[in-house]
Chain A
């Protein structure tokens, strides 16, 4: 897309996707925008409580949209989180004045959940320091606004690493613990939310509470995977591990079904430390398998590698050559594949991240590639999470939807190991209720490729994917892709009403992250 030049001091083209009806001045995209009643009284009360609030366009403009780039909304003012006491004073005042507070970590949601449609935007990135690292107990205590990547930078100084985090450098710990957090090692280690040992939470009424599985466990269960409904996570204690570089292997498939079956076979047998699927096209599928140690890699080679049906890069290139040689009318497709391979593959082999054949700093490699080759001002990534046996159906149906709406798209599939003792956390979350052992997530990512699509086009696409979830009784592997309108359809009235009653009790004025779930 050609983005026109703009002079500083003038408002440029709106950064979010256009409406289908062109030529209409941008409106906030959420019709339920808070109307600002009593704002000035609130501002005065906040100042009296010694909480700094910024109202300038310079401060508010940063938050006009989220990574999805289809929601648009402006807060009335911004508070940069500095400590739990300040967050507590903010929430107490907001509760009394009935002013909505939207919490933002990395802002990587795609449905506008971290966009404030009026009220206060609480930016957690101001609380982003590591507090203590316990190398013996293998835990870290950190402020929750920290980006996973910044946490990794600190841990690496002690040759340590986090367990699992989104393949995305700028998602925050607090934002992720509330939504899930899936990594390519989640089939073995579970989601990021499973790594939390304890949290400091500021409740919607402003109490500062420490919680864990043994202390204030009910609050802990609701806040983990709770989409920011039951409190602001201000600090977290997380499990960590010694750092290891990875031995990566890539297998290429022309059948998505075969690749998924092999992925699930590896997961069931604990055959690898990392596993996931990334597609370039439906007929060009990459199964990624990686290992933390030489022993695990050797065991895989001995017992499991021969059972995989994928090819090496050279073998797959020959297959594709044969495939397209007899289908000359598909030359365009072949060229796209080649061009994509040439652009993306070197990204995963940059010499500065490879030492003695091992990949160092995988999250940097993956995340930079994601933003460079898939990122744009619109990132529409609806996803589905299902039980293992429904997964192939979900993916194949989702693929058919992608084909209908976009020329090219990518799929990213990964397993999520479930922890039976965490069942209470999983209720009404990204983990589908019928999953046992593992859940599987697939995200459907259209390639925008410089095209301009209207918000309505994106929305229709997302609805069609979510409809599959409703139909299959699935969930959504993170709420970065789920819309409020689907919550009741997915989880049913009984569960949602129970959670709503809990929310009303915890947040009488319904100020915290409202309109996201309820």
Chain B
């Protein structure tokens, strides 16, 4: 019997197709080659990573396929592994090297819980400051941005650099903004207390009480799927407590707002993103959209004129000073 701690590999795929139901890449293409099932079956037939380059690039690594696979195959892990076998764009390698260099010269953090904001939140200093205050956490100068990029784009991770990051984080309570890095840290630091930014903020009373039934709450897909069994309960409670609608499908899998893949990452938001957002909002008429991830905010702002807020923006300004160390600490 498999377990999530011992995920299986593509030879175990039975072709049940459950992963297709939740896969935004499949929804976009409606072609089985662009699905986790298609990838696993092609590999069973002897396909190489190069032959699968198009779907590998189209996958958004949302991780929705992982919790639904009844065979317990680590599908997003399989895709990341295959990506690492493909030739890599030079500018990505250069960017990773630059981030690694900055991380190497960062100061080692003082003892205690830490926030690893991730690239998007770091690029928005006022929101980062707000999140930090709400959570009562310091943010780490080295938040593993180079490693997060490598995970996403199939880059090599230098073992020494990985050791350095883990050495800085081991034994702490961490709130992690980047969903892919969070999933990796779960494997690498099994003893650490890890929470996604969304979970940590949505645990705060100051935020919970500002959520209402007219809100559409958008869970960040990668972090959610990486810790599905636990978080499905957390968000079910959030829904019951606040009455807000969630971006969960009938299987309680998070529908990602962004279907952005590796190939389209730096391109402007396209029609497929608008289609995705419209699908998310179909049948709903929310007063506000509340997002956990800044990347999702851009997608909603492009596709609709409903006000979009980041979770950290929900708390009243007066609360910013009062909030004591957060519930996950």
Contacts and interface: CB of A to CB of B under 8 A. Distances in A.
B16 A170 contact: yes
A3 B37 CA distance: 17
B38 interface: yes
B51 A58 contact: yes
B11 A3 contact: yes
Interface stretch (B17-25, B124-132, B137-145, B219-227): B17-25
A65 interface: yes
B160 interface: no
A3 B236 CA distance: 36
B158 interface: no
B167 interface: no
Contacts of A361: 250-251
B260 to A, nearest CB: 22
Interface stretch (A121-129, A193-201, A209-217): A121-129
A62 B37 contact: yes
A506 interface: no
Nearest to B40: A62
Contact of B82 (A8, A154, A158): A8
A125 B42 contact: no
Interface string B65-78: 00010110000000
B283 interface: yes
Nearest to A363: B250
Given A149-B250, A158-B283, A58 B52 contact: yes
Interface stretch (B28-36, B92-100, B179-187, B291-299): B28-36
Interface string B42-55: 11111111011000
A51 interface: no
B219 to A, nearest CB: 13
A371 B37 contact: no
Contacts of A368: 18, 68, 70, 251
A165 to B, nearest CB: 13
Interface in B240-260: 249-252
Interface string A154-178: 1011110000000001100000000
Interface in A127-145: 127-128
Interface stretch (A9-17, A182-190, A310-318, A491-499): A9-17
Interface residues of A, number: 58
Contacts of A128: 30
A57 interface: yes
Nearest to A146: B30
A157 B216 CA distance: 14
B47 A58 contact: yes
A58 B31 contact: no
A62 B46 contact: no
A107 B15 contact: yes
Contact of B236 (A125, A126, A150, A351): A351
A338 B131 CA distance: 48
A57 B42 contact: yes
B32 A149 contact: no
Contacts of A60: 45
A170 B45 contact: no
A97 interface: no
- Chain B CB within 10 Å — which of A5, A127, A352, A361 has the most? A352
A432 B51 CA distance: 48
A11 B41 CA distance: 11
Contacts of B236: 351-352
Given A5-B9, A67-B16, A106-B17, A157 B43 contact: no
B233 interface: yes
A58 B42 contact: yes
B46 A11 contact: yes
Interface in B95-148: none
A58 B70 contact: no
Contact of A377 (B14, B49, B232, B282): B14
B21 A8 contact: no
A347 to B, nearest CB: 11
Contacts of A147: 17, 20-21
A56 B51 contact: yes
B299 to A, nearest CB: 19
B42 to A, nearest CB: 4
Given A57-B45, A61-B45, A6 B9 contact: yes
A169 B45 contact: no
B33 A62 contact: yes
B11 A12 contact: yes
A55 to B, nearest CB: 13
Contacts of A396: none
A77 interface: no
A91 to B, nearest CB: 20
A6 B11 contact: yes
B21 A149 contact: yes
B172 interface: no
Given A3-B12, A11-B45, A13-B11, A58 B33 contact: yes
Contact of B18 (A123, A127, A371): A371
Contacts of A15: 11, 13-15, 44
- Chain B CB within 10 Å — which of A60, A67, A149, A351 has the most? A149
Contacts of A61: 41-42, 44-47
Contact of B21 (A12, A66, A150, A352): A150
A126 B17 contact: no
A161 to B, nearest CB: 10
Contacts of B21: 147, 149-150, 169-170
A308 interface: no
A505 interface: no
Contacts of B82: 8
B7 to A, nearest CB: 12
Given A125-B32, A150-B21, A153-B249, A352 B42 contact: no
Contacts of A159: 283
B10 interface: yes
B168 interface: no
A47 interface: no
A461 B130 CA distance: 66
A152 interface: yes
B85 interface: yes
Nearest to A1: B12
Contact of A9 (B20, B46, B233, B283): B46
A122 to B, nearest CB: 12
B223 to A, nearest CB: 17
B11 A107 contact: no
Contact of A5 (B11, B13, B233): B11
23 contacts: A3-B12, A4-B11, A6-B11, A8-B47, A9-B49, A12-B11, A15-B11, A57-B46, A58-B42, A58-B47, A58-B52, A69-B15, A106-B17, A123-B32, A128-B30, A152-B250, A154-B282, A170-B20, A352-B233, A361-B251, A364-B251, A371-B14, A371-B18
Interface of B: 1, 8-18, 20-21, 30-33, 37-38, 41-49, 51-52, 68, 70-71, 82, 85, 232-233, 236, 249-252, 282-284
Q: Which 4 A-B pairs have the closest CB atoms?
A: A61-B45, A157-B283, A170-B17, A371-B70
Given A364-B250, A375-B70, 16 more contacts: A4-B11, A5-B11, A9-B46, A10-B46, A15-B14, A57-B46, A58-B38, A62-B15, A62-B38, A125-B20, A153-B250, A156-B250, A169-B18, A367-B18, A371-B70, A376-B14
